Amino acid sequence: MDTDIVVIGAGIAGLRAARRLEEHGCSVVVLEAEGEVGGRIRTDDVDGFLCDHGFQVLNPAYPALREAVDVEALALHSFGVGAIVRSGDRASTLAHPLRHPRFALQTLLSEHVPLGDVFALARWLGPTLVGLDGVGAQDRALGASLDEAGLTGKLRHDLLDTFLAGVLADSSGGSSANFVKQLVRYFALGAPGLPRAGMRALPVQMASSLQEPVRLGTGAREVNETSGGVRVVTDRGTILARAAIVAVAPNDLPELTGEAAPATHGLTTWWFRASGEPRTGPYLLIDASLPGGGPAGPIWNTAVISEVAPSYAPAGQHLVQATTLLDRIDGLASEAQIRDDLARLYGTSTSGWEVLAHHVVPHALPAVQPPFRSPGPRRLGERVLVTGDHRESSSIQGALVAGQRAADAAGAMLA
């Protein structure tokens, strides 16, 4: 045998599995077809601007995060706990009144936060927030769950629906309510942010902790069980191991395993070098300009990222991101349409803004339909496991737990 375990895929789940296996005393070879680690978590450096693939954030409240990485070393820049809501020609900053007291009165008196909606939100989220509700609770689609809780006013239609659609890359309201409650709980407990060196810093740190370097540019072509082990055929040769963990992206599963690809949601991100200085503070900007709430254009959220994380832009320059959703007819809006929408949202001309990057991410996140389940790694035969966030939950927390559970299962197979 060349090694105990081959891990195929150096995304978050694969890297976590590899490190956990090493902690169990196993020898591990990690294969990655791309030229860098991270899977769907990637960052481009464009003339000193850091442009992540897909609008991603890291929440330090994720329980699995501190077990896996040195969070302090990532030097997170935190978003404000709140959002700016654009409604027509008005923009209001709504923020957590205890964490951002300067906005407390403005938030509590806002038309977007009627008292009845606040009570309805408490009814909907309260049990999960205090740990009395969870994965095993009766589940339903997000939209139906909010309706049932009586959360049907402006807080939902001007803020929650749009914010959550951006988080899930799903504007249908069909995602699992139980899963969304868990996500919102993590948002309530932590302050999501961006690592100083971009989101890529997370997988880079994880890979650097492994005893053997990840084999980059080495894609797996076949995974076959043999007598007492597995045979992994790569484009650089064959590896014999006692077992294998397949941790590739959901859309790559059919080619490698013959398994059906899990459903996914997609989005795009645009990154601009902004002229002038669009001032929003460290907040996400959400559009509620349609009658009844919701975005009036293709952009579902946007932020001046350099106001959140100054390290994402050269000194004195300004970086703006904008996200569209691929489940919408305008998800692939043109540059001109995006510029027009940004000009409306920020109330300034965008003609001098420079496009730095435009990422189309068709499989950004696994879909999470009700009932929400975390089945753990899928066993193919006696020596092959399939894992990833699609086997746990659609988040970095889910990917970390998926990797850990797969490693523990593989270790048990070899015991």
Which class for 294: exposed (0-12), middle (13-18), buried (19 or more C-beta within 10 A)? middle
* C-alpha to C-alpha distance for 32 and 41, rounded to whole angstroms: 13
* C-alpha to C-alpha distance for 317 and 333, rounded to whole angstroms: 26
* Complete DSSP assignment for 158-180: IIIHHHHHHHHT--SS-SBHHHH
Beta bridge partners of 303: 321
**CA gyration radius, the chain:** 22
User: Cα–chain-centroid distance for residue 301?
Assistant: 14
SS3 at position 284 = strand
Q: Is the distance from CB of 299 to CB of 255 less than 8 angstroms?
A: no
* Sequence spans of domains, the chain: 3-39+199-263+376-414, 63-195+265-366
Q: Output the CA angle 235-241-246, nearest 5 degrees.
A: 65
- Return the half-sphere exposure (C-beta side, CA atoms, 13 A cut-off) of residue 392: 21
Name the DSSP letter for residue 75.
-
| pLDDT tens sequence for the chain (415 residues) | 899 999 999 999 999 999 999 999 999 999 999 999 999 999 999 999 999 999 999 999 999 999 999 999 999 999 999 999 999 989 999 988 888 888 888 888 899 999 999 999 999 998 887 765 555 578 999 999 999 999 999 999 999 999 999 999 999 999 999 999 999 999 988 999 999 999 999 999 999 999 999 999 999 999 999 988 999 999 999 999 999 999 999 999 999 999 999 999 999 999 999 988 788 899 999 999 999 889 999 999 999 999 999 999 999 999 999 999 999 999 999 999 999 999 999 999 999 999 999 999 999 999 999 999 999 999 999 999 999 999 999 999 999 999 999 999 999 998 8
Q: Is the distance from CB of 286 to CB of 162 less than 8 angstroms?
A: yes
Tell me: the pLDDT tens digits for 253-311?
999 999 999 999 999 999 999 988 788 899 999 999 999 889 999 999 999 999 999 99
33 in a known ligand binding site:
yes
Tell me: the pLDDT tens digits for 168-207?
999 999 999 999 999 999 998 899 999 999 999 999 999 9
CA–CA distances in Å: residue 71 to residues 1, 64, 283, 395: 36, 11, 22, 17
Q: CB-based contacts of 1: which residues, under 8 Å, 6+ apart?
A: 229, 240, 241, 242
SS3 at position 117 = helix
SS3 at position 240 = strand
Name the DSSP letter for residue 415.
-
The amino acid that residue 42 corresponds to is R
Q: Is the distance from CB of 399 to CB of 15 less than 8 angstroms?
A: no
CATH topology classification for 3-39+199-263+376-414: FAD/NAD(P)-binding domain (3.50.50)
The amino acid that residue 341 corresponds to is D
Q: Is the distance from CB of 350 to CB of 297 less than 8 angstroms?
A: no
* C-alpha to C-alpha distance for 21 and 136, rounded to whole angstroms: 29
The tokens describing 134, both together, are 């969870």
* C-alpha to C-alpha distance for 234 and 370, rounded to whole angstroms: 37
CATH number of 63-195+265-366: 3.90.660.50
Name the DSSP letter for residue 200.
T
